[in-house]
A and B are shown apart, each in its own frame.
Chain A
Amino acid sequence: MSIDTVSKAEETPDQAQPFAELGLKPDEYERIREILGRRPTSSELAMYSVMWSEHCSYKSSKVHLKQFGDKKPETDKLLVGIGENAGVVDIGEGWAVTFKVESHNHPSYVEPYQGAATGVGGIVRDIISMGARPLAVMDPLRFGPADAADTRRVLPGVVSGIGGYGNCLGLPNIGGEIVFDDTYLGNPLVNALCVGAMRHDEIHLASAKGVGNLVVLYGARTGGDGIGGVSVLASETFDADGPAKRPSVQVGDPFMEKLLIEATLEVLHAGLVEGIQDLGGAGISCATSELASNGDGGMHVWLDRVLLRDATLSPEEILMSESQERMCAVVAPENVDAFMAIIKKWDVEAVVIGEVTDSGHLTVDWHGERIVDVPPRTVAHEGPIYERPYARPSWQDALQADAPTADRLARPTTADDIRATVLNMIGAPNLASKAWITDQYDRYVLGNTVLSQPEDVGMVRIDEESGLGVAISTDCNGRFTKLDPYTGTQLALAESYRNVCASGAIPLAVTNCLNFGSPEDPDVMWQFAEATRGLADGCLQLGIPVTGGNVSFYNQTGDTAILPTPVVGVLGVIDDVDRRTPIAWNEDGELIYILGDTNDEFAGGEWANHVHKHLGGMPPKVDLERERLLGEVLVAGSRDGMLSAAHDVSDGGIAQVLVEMALHAGSGARCWIPDNIDPFTFLFSESAGRAVVVVARTEELRFTEMCAARQLPAQRVGVVDSGLGPDAGYPAGTQVLQFNDWFTLTLDELHEAHTKTLPALFA
């Protein structure tokens, strides 16, 4: 085995290098040569190629993501902003929370179980590297058509991977999304969110400061995981009979991750750590270059000290390996013994692999030979930045002109047809109960889960004494975003914001996971530019900052990109989880109100999608001032004890909301369709800025006066009633949802229609 060293690189400047196979463009390779003043060694080439990849460098998205900083609303809640592993938000009482969502789309397509499992593991390490204790995870998922053969391969694997890893790790899975669409066949989206909490003085950052401090790698051993791409280098440096092809599948070990959480939090709380970084994509390359770049600018690494699972790994492979459950800490020399003792107590292996220097260079030695000598900023932070060309797609106007009017798409008009449509819609894969999936996740481990699926949000308690808690929702309707990326992204933000308010929590911060097709396609890049502009403008208007996020490009099959899917997560705080608002109504006599305006808005909605397979027109209008007003009313209603229940209206419209509330409560209601609107529009339109709330009779006057004072439309449309069965011709005890003289549905048939879909497809 011959090693490519810096001196060898200087001697052989003309040696051909496989930069293209590693994903580098010729001009990027030239720039590396310019930076170094020579050809890179194969190890340097490996580092640059992976750190300058789209995934690590954000080279196509950076110019657009800048807006989240430029348009940041005034806030004193943000303790750590964009750029660190995850943003940190002040929630009061000395507590801070950090949350972030990341994609693990491509690995989950190759190997669904391990791809999804390691996605959870990766985001959890991001949270612990901020010094926070992970509290819960959520998973926004997108798959191909529910009845497609490949969905039957991918979905069960992804679901058991998420469940297997999260359940073993002991973190509750409190929500997320499951959406089916043709464009995700061949490119499912597996996004993972984690939220953690810490005291204000426990925040830690990724930087290597203090010359002479030592760099410690700890956790699982380094193996050949996730280094498929670098095999072109390995094939050059390995003997002909060496391992021919390395697997690129990373395998997770949740029990090791649990040890890593406890060991990491203990060394952080003991004050033994100067800087810390998790190892995710790009492994040691990323951790060392980012730590050095954020710190005093120099680091030296003895790469041969890295503990290996597979002794045959080449230095290039060790630098690139994405083996899971590893962390990197910067520790002062006098603290190393104490640090090692704690790590060892948790049965975790650790080794000093380097030290902080003031050389301004990241240098790496392999058995005494210098194989890397680079300025770390050029690897970690000063990678290429592209202003990718973008243009409004030529088909966009035609798409928007194809509105789902009553002439274009046949609408049900008779009572029987509408009744059948309700049953059909609540069983549509996108609207059907997701219990078959979420029941595979442990929602209650740790004992702090207050709300989880199918509620509007996931809510966990943080402080057992005061009841302080946080609520999180993630949302995105990719069909809206396809019709109009700017509006669609604001609709995703609005829905997430509304969900948090409906639970009684006050929205504080935003994270995102922007899943798009190829940035080299001007159509896709336009979608991305519009989506980021929409999100930044929306966050500014709602006064909640973006604290971090993730971009995933190249989500496409052949030339067909996925629906643009900017998943938006909103985090809110609630001062006492006891006053949360659930979605289920409580007792007979409570009054059902609809807040907001219902218009004829079906474009991109689930009815047009499920019944007509139609996508066209302009998405529902978004009015963020109305959303803010609605949010204030929902939060005030919760705080003053006026609301028994609340549920955001979005996918599937009011019909879906009333059915979910009734099924969750297990008791029926008498509803009436207002005179000023046709029943179909009332039940199925997906106008934004609406919620259904349930108010006790004793609170009705106070609540309606509050709405009137704030000029928020509120219309009474029903009353909770568990005794309607006999009147409607059913045996006593039968629970029914009745729409005055239009039609009646029993909860049994609603339950059957709502819950049978997923088990029939996947069980």
Chain B
Amino acid sequence: MARVVVDVMLKPEILDPQGRAVQGALGRLGFTGVTDVRQGKQFVIEVEGEITDERREQLHVIAGELLCNPVIEDFILIVEEDQ
């Protein structure tokens, strides 16, 4: 068993209305000093067996084509083996 974590974030230049809303709320609630908030999503994927190169490649395809919209988002894929 291995666990794979995929973090998907909007590309840095893309407007993030949700992040801006959170940032605005922080200011209203009195939390000062926060200069930027960007919101993303995290996928935790469990896979069978070992993470082979082939499996890793497949996971990259899943992350790049299904979990994120490559036009406006980037992803980071982290493998946490042997849970």
Within 8 A of A (CB), among B53-73: 69, 71-72
- Whether, in the assembled complex, B82 has its beta carbon less than 8 Å from a beta carbon of chain A, the answer is no
CB of A583 to closest CB in B, whole Å: 39
Q: Does A256 touch B at the CB level, under 8 Å?
A: yes
Q: Nearest-CB distance from A343 to chain B (Å)?
A: 16
Q: Does any Cβ of B come within 8 Å of A656's Cβ? A: no
User: A75-119: which residues lie under 8 A (CB-CB) from chain B?
Assistant: 110-111, 114
- Which residues of A from 287 to 327 have beta carbons under 8 Å from B? 309-310, 323-324
**A310-B12, A347-B24 as given contacts; A249 in contact with B17, CB under 8 Å:** no
Question: A757 CA to B69 CA in the complex, in Å?
Answer: 28
Which residues on the A side are within 8 Å of B17 (C-beta)?
251, 253, 255-256
A4 at the interface (CB under 8 A from B): no
| A309: B residues at CB distance < 8 A | 13, 15
Do the beta carbons of A111 and B15 come within 8 Å of each other? no
**B21 sits at the interface (CB 8 A):** yes
| Cβ–Cβ < 8 Å partners of B72 in chain A | 111, 114, 247, 249, 251
Q: How far is it, in angstroms, between the C-alpha of A225 and the C-alpha of B11 when the chains are bound?
A: 11
Q: Looking at the complex, which one of B13, B20, B24 makes contact with A247 (CB distance below 8 Å)?
A: B13
Q: How many B residues face the partner with a CB closer than 8 A?
A: 14
**Closest chain B residue to A324 by CB distance?**
B15
- Chain B residues closer than 8 Å to A255, beta-carbon distance: 17, 21
Check if A224 is an interface residue, CB within 8 A of chain B: yes
Neighbour of B15 across the interface among A110, A220, A347, CB < 8 A: A220
Q: Is A223 close to B, CB under 8 A? A: yes
B59 vs chain A, min Cβ distance (A)? 22
Report if A434 contacts B (CB, 8 A): no
For the complex formed, measure the closest distance between the CB of B44 and the CB atoms of chain A, giving whole angstroms: 25
With A255-B21, A347-B24 as known contacts, state yes or no: A111 contacts B14, CB within 8 Å. no
- CB atoms of A251 and B15 under 8 A apart: yes
Instruction: Give, as a whole number of angstroms, the nearest-CB distance from A122 to chain B.
Output: 15
Number of A-B residue pairs, CB cutoff 8 Å, is 42
Residues of chain B lying within 8 A (CB to CB) of residue A256:
17
In the bound complex, what is the Cα–Cα distance between A247 and B74 (angstroms)? 12
Q: Identify whether the interface residues of B are mostly helix, strand, loop, or mixed.
A: loop
Closest to B15 in A: A251
Q: Of A223, A247, A323, A347, which contacts B71 at CB under 8 A? A: A247
The chain A residue with its CB closest to the CB of B24 is A347
Is A243's beta carbon under 8 Å from chain B? yes
A408 to chain B, nearest CB (A): 45
CB contacts under 8 Å to B, within A214-258, are: 220, 223-225, 243, 246-247, 249, 251, 253, 255-256
| Known contacts A255-B21, A347-B24: A246-B13 contact under CB 8 Å | yes
Q: Mark A252-274, 1 if CB is under 8 A from B, else 0.
A: 01011000000000000000000
Q: Which residues of chain A have C-beta atoms less than 8 A from B14's C-beta? A: 223, 225, 247, 249, 251
> In the bound complex, do residue B71 and residue A243 qualify as a contact, i.e. CB atoms below 8 Å apart?
no
Say yes or no: A243-B21 contact (C-beta < 8 A), given A110-B71, A111-B71, A249-B72.
Answer: no
Given the complex of chains A and B, what is the CA–CA distance between A114 and B10 in angstroms?
Answer: 13
Alpha-carbon gap, A93 to B20, bound state (A) = 43
**Once bound together, how far apart are the Cα atoms of A323 and B15, in whole Å?**
8
Q: Which residues of B contact A310 (CB under 8 A)?
A: 12-13
Chain A: CB-nearest residue to B10: A251
In the complex formed, the residue of B with least CB distance to A250 is B15
* Residues of chain A contacted by B16 (CB below 8 angstroms): 251
Chain A, residues 462-498, CB within 8 Å of chain B (1/0): the string is 0000000000000000000000000000000000000
B69 touches A224 (CB 8 A): no
The CA-CA distance from A66 to B47 in the complex, in Å, is: 65
Smallest distance from the beta carbon of A107 to chain B beta carbons, Å?
A: 10
* A323 (CB) vs chain B CBs: closest residue: B15
Complexed CA–CA distance, A358 and B54 (Å): 68
Contact flag A223-B15 (CB < 8 Å), given A247-B72, A249-B71 = yes
B27 vs chain A, min Cβ distance (A): 11
- Distance between B49 CB and nearest chain A CB, rounded to angstroms: 32
The interface bits of chain B over 1-14 (1 if a CB of A lies within 8 angstroms of the residue's CB, else 0) are 00000000011111
Could you tell me the distance in whole angstroms from the C-beta of A241 to the nearest C-beta in chain B? 15
Q: How many Å lie between the Cα of A323 and that of B14 in the bound state?
A: 10
* B20 proximity list for chain A (CB < 8 A): 253
* B residues whose Cβ falls under 8 Å from a Cβ of A: 10-17, 20-21, 24, 69, 71-72
21 A-B pairs with C-beta separation under 8 A: A110-B71, A111-B69, A111-B71, A114-B72, A220-B15, A223-B13, A223-B14, A223-B15, A224-B13, A225-B13, A225-B14, A225-B15, A243-B13, A247-B11, A247-B14, A249-B72, A251-B10, A310-B13, A323-B15, A324-B15, A347-B24
What are the 7 closest A-B residue pairs judged by CB atoms, nearest first?
A224-B13, A253-B17, A251-B15, A111-B71, A249-B72, A251-B14, A310-B13
Given contacts A110-B71, A225-B13, A249-B14, 20 further A-B contacts (CB under 8 A): A114-B72, A223-B13, A223-B14, A223-B15, A224-B13, A246-B13, A247-B13, A247-B71, A247-B72, A249-B72, A251-B10, A251-B14, A251-B16, A251-B72, A255-B17, A255-B21, A256-B17, A310-B13, A323-B15, A347-B24
Q: Which residues of A contact B (CB under 8 A)?
A: 110-111, 114, 220, 223-225, 243, 246-247, 249, 251, 253, 255-256, 309-310, 323-324, 347
